[in-house]
Amino acid sequence: MSALPVPDADARSHRPAPPPPLQLRPAGGGSAPLAPAPRRHQEPPDPRVWAGSLVRLVAEVITGNRDAAHLRRWVEPEVYEGLARRGGLYVRLHGRPARRTHARPLSVHLTRTPRGDYHLCAVVDDGRRVRALSGRFHLLGHRWEAVELDVG
C-alpha cells in the first residue's frame, strides 16, 4: 500500500479566501440600502387554535403545573386574578406537583356571537381530573382576550 502525500505547511496556509457576503442592492443601480418590507395588517390567530391553547394553559395554572403569569396577556385582569388565586390555593393545599403534567383538551366548541365575540365550551384532562370550562373571549387589537371563564 502506498502512503498518501502529506501537504506541507505552505500549502495549507494558502487557502483561497472565502467570497465576500452578498449585498442586496435595489433594482436600477441605486446604492441606497434596502429597507424591510412594510408589514401588512396582522391577522388575529385562529380562534379555535387560540381557545385550545387557552384551555390547556388554564388547566395547568389551576393545578399548579404552570405559573399564572403565563396567562396575564391572554385574559382580563379580573379573570387573571381569579385564576392566580385558584392556582395558589391548589399549591398551598396539595403542594407543587413533583412531575409536571400537561393538560390535554378533549373537546373545544366555539359559538360566534353577532358582535364578533366567541363563547367557549370545553372539556380538558388535567392529568388528575377531567374538567369542564366555559367562557367568552373577544378581539382586542390583533389578539384574543378572555373576558369570562368558569372552570368546573
What pLDDT, in 10s, does the model give residues 107-125?
A: 999 999 999 999 999 999 9
Domain limits, the chain:
47-151
Q: What is the separation of C-alpha 62 from the centre of its chain, rounded to a whole number of angstroms? A: 19
Question: Which CATH number applies to 47-151?
Answer: 3.10.450
Cα 146 from Cα 135, distance rounded (Å):
7
Kind and range of the H or E run holding 77 = helix 77-94
Q: Is the pLDDT of residue 6 over 70?
A: no
Q: Which residues have a Cβ under 8 Å from the Cβ of 142 and sit 6 or more positions away? A: 42, 43, 44
Residue-level pLDDT at 109: 98
pLDDT, greater one: 15 or 107: 107
- Model confidence over 49-94: pLDDT tens digits? 999 999 999 999 999 999 999 999 999 999 999 999 999 999 999 8
Percentage of the chain modeled with pLDDT above 90: 61
pTM of the model: 0.69
Q: DSSP labels for 5-64?
A: PPPPHHHHHTPPPPPPPP----TTS--SPPPPPPPPPPPPPPHHHHHHHHHHHHHHHHTT
Q: Are 59 and 52 in contact (CB under 8 A)?
A: no
